[in-house]
């Protein structure tokens, strides 16, 4: 197993991720919502409420001397069902590539091929065409429900990047591992192996990895804070080892039962740049309350 250093553990923390070549986003915390198979056009109002709230949050003076401008503090990403992407992009006036927009859109999955005889699938290019800027890749519900494996997920990530999307690679163990004391239990081995299988050779900027223990998804259970710190450090270290990406381009998210009442503690963990939220993401109130913790943890 790799040797995790203190730099890996504290390497980023919320609000310390930069994107080279873009407007400076030195103080970004990522709040990504996975709507899963929820939402028809009636839910567009909820997305609009998220956008308004996100704008207000980012316009709120934050601390002293942060130097951050509007849009730089908390980056919200909504990943709605593919059927809603185009309408949501119009409704939110979401502009892919516009680093200043507070809310960007993402797909929940894409095929590895640009087009072809794949009934029911959606390509990365189609997602981009519909207004997506990001796409979740290898979510555990795709791994378990659609038998996706490492090579498929890697190919999807490459297809996403080729279409101009930023892939968000999801990794996570099925059951709570033992031996967390030193951070190198079976869970650590699982996610390290998963990451090794899915990371493309070409550098991605940013490289976004979501640590989502399957046993925490939708269950109300979350790992202890130090467990998340260890896993985030392990992923950061493994990403640096395996991908020619500058360390300050690596974004590590935690996902699994993130709620307004635990978001503050999770977002405050060293090496965690944000959260991937499922159940609490399609309610504007809850999603914004989670985002607010990135700015004012005590609220």
Active site residues: 139, 212
Interaction residues for ligand PGA, span 201-260 (CB under 6 A): 212, 217-218, 255-258
263 lies in the binding site for ligand PGA (CB under 6 A)? no
At 277, give phi and psi (nearest 5°): -115, 130
Q: Three-state SS for 131?
A: coil
Sequence-separated (6 or more) residues with CB below 8 Å from residue 123: 110, 111, 113, 114, 115, 159, 163
Helices (H), 117-255: 124-129, 140-145, 150-162, 186-198, 225-242
79 lies in the binding site for ligand PGA (CB under 6 A)? no
Query: Judged by CB, which is closer to ligand PGA: 101, or 257?
Result: 257
Per-residue contact flags (x/-) with ligand PGA for residues 159 to 198, judged by CB under 6 A:
----------------------------------------
CA atoms 197, 206, 97, 296: torsion sign? positive
Q: How far is the CB of 94 from ligand PGA (least distance, A)?
A: 20
Interface residue with ligand PGA, options 4, 14, 19, 34 (CB under 6 A): 34
Query: Judged by CB, which is closer to ligand PGA: 274, or 278?
Result: 278
Interaction residues for ligand PGA, span 58-77 (CB under 6 A): none
Interface residue with ligand PGA, options 158, 159, 276, 294 (CB under 6 A): 276
278 lies in the binding site for ligand PGA (CB under 6 A)? yes
Q: How far is the CB of 255 from ligand PGA (least distance, A)?
A: 4
β-partners of residue 170 are 210
CA–CA separation, 4 and 249 (whole Å): 18
Nearest CA to 78 out of 130, 154, 24, 13 is that of 130
At 136, give phi and psi (nearest 5°): -75, 140
For residue 162, what are its two tokens?
């080729």
Question: Can you give the binding site for ligand PGA, defined by CB under 6 A?
Answer: 34, 212, 217-218, 255-258, 276-279
């Amino acid at each position: 197993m790799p040797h995790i250093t203190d730099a890996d553990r504290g390497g980023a923390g919320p609000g310390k991720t930069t994107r080279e070549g873009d407007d400076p986003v030195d103080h970004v915390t990522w709040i990504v919502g996975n709507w899963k198979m929820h939402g028809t056009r009636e839910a567009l109002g909820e997305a609009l409420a998220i956008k308004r709230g996100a704008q207000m949050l980012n316009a709120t003076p934050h601390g002293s001397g942060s130097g951050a401008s509007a849009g730089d503090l908390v980056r919200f990403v909504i990943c709605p069902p593919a059927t809603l992407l185009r309408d949501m992009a119009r409704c939110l006036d979401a502009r892919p590539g516009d680093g200043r927009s507070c809310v960007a859109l993402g797909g929940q999955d894409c095929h590895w091929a640009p087009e072809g005889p794949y009934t029911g699938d959606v390509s990365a290019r189609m997602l981009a065409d519909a207004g997506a800027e990001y796409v979740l890749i290898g979510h555990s519900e795709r791994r378990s429900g659609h038998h996706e494996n490492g090579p498929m997920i890697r190919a999807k990530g490459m297809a996403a990047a080729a279409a101009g999307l930023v892939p968000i690679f999801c990794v996570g163990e099925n059951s709570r591992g033992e031996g967390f004391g030193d951070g190198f239990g079976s869970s650590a081995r699982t996610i390290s192996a998963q990451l090794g299988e899915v990371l493309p050779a070409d550098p991605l900027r940013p490289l976004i990895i979501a640590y989502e223990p399957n046993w925490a998804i939708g269950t109300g259970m979350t790992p202890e804070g130090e467990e998340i710190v260890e896993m985030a450090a392990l992923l950061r270290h493994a990403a640096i080892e395996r991908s020619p990406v500058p360390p300050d381009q690596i974004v590590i998210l935690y996902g699994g039962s993130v709620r307004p009442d635990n978001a503050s503690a999770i977002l405050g963990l060293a090496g965690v740049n944000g959260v991937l939220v499922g159940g609490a993401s399609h309610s504007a109130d809850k999603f914004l309350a989670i985002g607010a913790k990135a700015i004012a943890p005590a609220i």
